[in-house]
């Protein structure tokens, strides 16, 4: 069943998970893929279940965004570009780095113009650093980019925002990655419509109840919200429940929009040997809390655990004391 992306026939096969993508130890089910007006969509989003929407035309006005076009039209402002000798770009929060002065990071980021970024990509040779541009779209971009941006399907997406009672749109992150870049498993605290413009990305998703299988770093750590488990070589002595992990996966291509629910874990892999990837996400604050009903949902428990961790860390005023306190509270008493 062919659903319409922008370059249908040639690329339809890629969406069916080409098996040059990595194999992992856990099992996955496919993420449903539906036309935006399919009656099943509403129940999925309402229940915070992921779904790939086709034919939204959300970012159709940007379908010509590629390296050449952005080079000539995005302007001469600076953009945040991550670089690494490996293809994994584990996120870190700069503000939390002072807590861990000895932390060794595999990735750096620097501010550069799109033209400088393009040069790095074009001149790339095997063994060179890999670059991944991740920049919130702002008013520093050139005129024709603004024109494309204004023509996004804002009426459709704003209708969704209202229907599901989400809060404000906080940002649109533009992601331009070299072939094969990977964003390791993490969760975000916002609702996300993730729009693919160019190239193919494989999404591995895990529902919020998988928290205990994915062992996120402590909240005060720069890698807060990121899994500590290396999917390529999981340390099952430290992280035994990783063996119970079950997920969902799909490949998104040009024209696809993934609804990525708040607190859902995701790992994002640009499909190897398929070239660069171009994406724009739409991050929305969660709705103002409706009446709480019990039992709490897994994502509400995650939010609660975050609050407890933050409270303890702030009250004790030294993050190095937190692990001992937490262990004293739990081990042999709640275990
Ligand atoms: O596309 C990526 O590499 C990461 C995207 C992501 O994590 C997000 O949009 O929340
Ligand atoms: Fe994310």
Structure letter (DSSP) for residue 9: H
Residue 311 CA to ligand 1 center (angstroms) comes to 28
ipTM above 0.90, yes or no: yes
Distances (CA, A) of 91 to 75, 198, 222, 225: 26, 23, 8, 9
Q: State mean pLDDT over 55-67.
A: 98
How far out from the chain centre does Cα 170 lie?
15
> How confident is residue 291, by pLDDT bands cut at 50, 70 and 90?
confident
Whole-number percent of the chain with pLDDT over 90: 93
Residue ranges with strand state E in the chain: 27-30, 33-35, 51-54, 78-84, 107-113, 130-136, 169-171, 173-177, 182-187, 191-198, 201-206, 246-252, 257-260, 265-270, 277-284
* Main-chain phi, psi angles of 202, to 5 degrees: -95, 125
Give the number of the atom of ligand 1 that is nearest the alpha carbon of residue 186: 7
How close is the Cα of 309 to the center of ligand 1, in Å?
25
Q: What is the pLDDT of residue 46?
A: 97
pLDDT tens-digit series, residues 138-150: 999 999 999 999 9
Output the DSSP codes for 38-54.
-HHHHHHHHTT--EEEE
Give residue 11's pLDDT: 57
Burial of 78 (0-12, 13-18, 19+ CB in 10 A): middle
- The overall average pLDDT reported for the chain is 95
Q: Lowest-confidence range among 6-20, 131-145, 147-161, 174-188?
A: 6-20
In the structure, what pLDDT confidence band is assigned to residue 105 with cuts at 50, 70 and 90? very high
Residue 194 has pLDDT above 80, yes or no: yes
Task: Supply the pLDDT for residue 1.
Answer: 45
CA dist., res. 85 & res. 131, Å (int): 9
Cα–Cα distances (Å) from 261 to 52, 219, 335, in that order, read 12, 20, 32
For ligand 2, the distance from its centroid to the CA atom of residue 331, given in whole angstroms, is: 32
Q: What is the DSSP letter of 295?
A: S
211: Cα separation from own chain's centroid:
16
pLDDT reading at 226 higher than 80 = yes
Q: Which atom of ligand 1 is nearest to the CA of 188?
A: 10
CA–CA dist 49, 195 (Å, integer): 17
Residue 4 has pLDDT above 80, yes or no: no
Q: Are 94 and 227 in contact (CB under 8 A)?
A: no
Q: Residue 7 pLDDT > 80, yes or no?
A: no
Does the structure show a pLDDT above 60 at 317? yes
Ligand 1 and 118: CB distance under 6 A: no
The whole-angstrom separation of Cα 35 and Cα 58 is: 13
Alpha carbon 235 to its chain's center: 24
Q: Is the CB of 259 under 6 A from ligand 1?
A: no
CA of 281 relative to ligand 1 center, distance in Å: 8
Q: Is the CB of 188 under 6 A from ligand 1?
A: yes
pLDDT range class, residue 9, cuts 50, 70, 90: low
């Amino acid at each position: 069943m062919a659903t319409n992306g922008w370059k249908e026939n040639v690329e339809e096969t890629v969406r069916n998970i080409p098996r040059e993508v990595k194999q992992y130890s856990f099992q996955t089910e496919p993420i449903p893929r539906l036309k935006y007006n399919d009656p099943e969509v509403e129940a999925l989003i309402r229940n915070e279940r992921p779904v790939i929407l086709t034919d939204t035309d959300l970012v159709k006005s940007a379908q010509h965004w590629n390296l050449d076009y952005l080079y000539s039209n995005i302007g001469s402002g600076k953009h945040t570009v991550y670089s690494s000798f490996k293809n994994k770009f584990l996120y870190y929060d700069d503000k939390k780095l002072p807590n861990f002065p000895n932390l060794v990071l595999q990735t750096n980021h620097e501010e550069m113009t799109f033209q400088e970024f393009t040069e790095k990509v074009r001149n790339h040779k095997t063994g060179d650093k890999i670059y991944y541009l991740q920049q919130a779209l702002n008013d520093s971009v050139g005129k024709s980019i603004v024109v494309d941006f204004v023509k996004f399907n804002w009426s459709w997406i704003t209708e969704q925002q209202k229907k599901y009672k989400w809060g404000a749109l906080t940002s649109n992150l533009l992601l331009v990655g070299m072939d094969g870049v990977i964003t390791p498993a993490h969760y975000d605290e916002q609702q996300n419509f993730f729009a693919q413009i160019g190239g193919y990305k494989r999404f591995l998703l895990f529902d919020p109840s998988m928290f205990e299988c994915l062992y996120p770093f402590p909240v005060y750590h720069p890698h807060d919200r990121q899994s500590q488990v290396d999917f390529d070589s999981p340390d099952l002595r430290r992280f035994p429940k990783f063996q119970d992990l079950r997920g969902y996966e799909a490949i998104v291509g040009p024209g696809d929009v993934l609804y990525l629910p708040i607190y859902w874990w995701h790992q994002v892999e640009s499909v190897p040997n398929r070239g660069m990837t171009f994406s724009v996400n739409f991050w929305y604050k969660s709705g103002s809390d409706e009446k709480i009903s019990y039992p709490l949902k897994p994502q509400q428990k995650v939010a609660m655990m975050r609050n407890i961790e933050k409270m303890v860390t702030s009250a004790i005023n030294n993050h190095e004391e937190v692990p001992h306190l937490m262990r004293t509270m739990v081990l042999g008493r709640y275990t």
